[in-house]
Amino acid sequence: MTGMKPLEGRTVTDSDGLEGRIVALEPGNDETGTRVMIELAGGRHVLVPRDMLNPEDDNSIRLPLSFSTITSDAGTEEHRIPVVEERLAVRKRKVVTGKVRVTKRVREREMVVDEPLLRERVEVTRVPVGQWVDAPVPPWREGDTMIIPLLEEVIVVEKRLRVVEEVRITTHRSEFHDPKTVTLRSEEAVVEPLSSANSEPSSSS
């Protein structure tokens, strides 16, 4: 009994957060053991087994059940104590095990572009004609050559038109290659693992 004296006067908190004060210790027999009398608000007294009290590290005392479930008062021989069992609650939390850094690297490569190009060259040829005509002659084409008649008026007994010259314009086409070097860019992802020493685990209920 001497070892139990320090409990008197201390506050006990039940599972609902209600508080009571230990006012006395009641010695029991081999079947019941030592019981503690707790005074609640309003003057109600309850008896609970000493073994059900859980002293905490902060000197508080916890009761793993509610005062409202204890039906006995002081002086009553019969009392009802719920049977308590412990159950395992498994929870998961997320832990950062590593980090990676993703960077983009620009790679350059040279590519030869060789496409055919078209170039036109005009050749002008003057061809003497000296032919008389009755009316102006319009230009015409012969294949790739455009022929433009040049006219002049000549004073004779009567005035007539004569083709004195033809201007022949011939178009010559040729293909040639003019290679150019161009630079093309592409991106690729580089994944670098980081040390997990500085990572902080993040928890979730």
User: Does residue 47 form part of some domain?
Assistant: yes
Length of the chain: 205
pLDDT of residue 200: 54
- Final residue belonging to a domain, choices 69, 99, 128: 69
Residue 127: domain span: 116-175
- 44 in a structural domain: yes
Q: Is 204 helix (H, G, I), strand (E, B) or coil?
A: coil
Q: Which residue has the higher pLDDT, 156 or 16?
A: 16
Q: Does some domain include residue 18?
A: yes
* pLDDT for 204 beyond 50: no
pTM of the model: 0.33
Q: What is the pLDDT of residue 187?
A: 84
CATH number at residue 41: 3.90.50.10
Dist CA 132 CA 33 (whole Å): 150
Q: What is the pLDDT of residue 31?
A: 53
Q: Which residue has the higher pLDDT, 44 or 6?
A: 44
Q: Give me the sheet containing 160-177, strands edge to edge.
A: 116-133, 160-177, 145-154, 140-142
Q: Which residues contact 137 (CB under 8 A, 6 or more apart)?
A: 149, 151, 163
Is the Cβ–Cβ distance between 4 and 53 less than 8 Å?
no
Q: Encoding tokens for residue 37?
A: 């009398």
Question: What is the rounded distance in angstroms from the CA atom of residue 135 to the CA atom of residue 85?
Answer: 127
CA nearest neighbour of 199 among 92, 101, 100, 97: 97
Number of domains observed in the structure of the chain: 2
Supply 93's token pair: 């939390």
CA–CA dist 46, 37 (Å, integer): 6
The mean pLDDT value for 12-19 works out to: 87
Write out pLDDT tens, residues 65-114.
Answer: 888 877 554 444 444 555 666 777 788 888 888 888 888 888 888 999 88
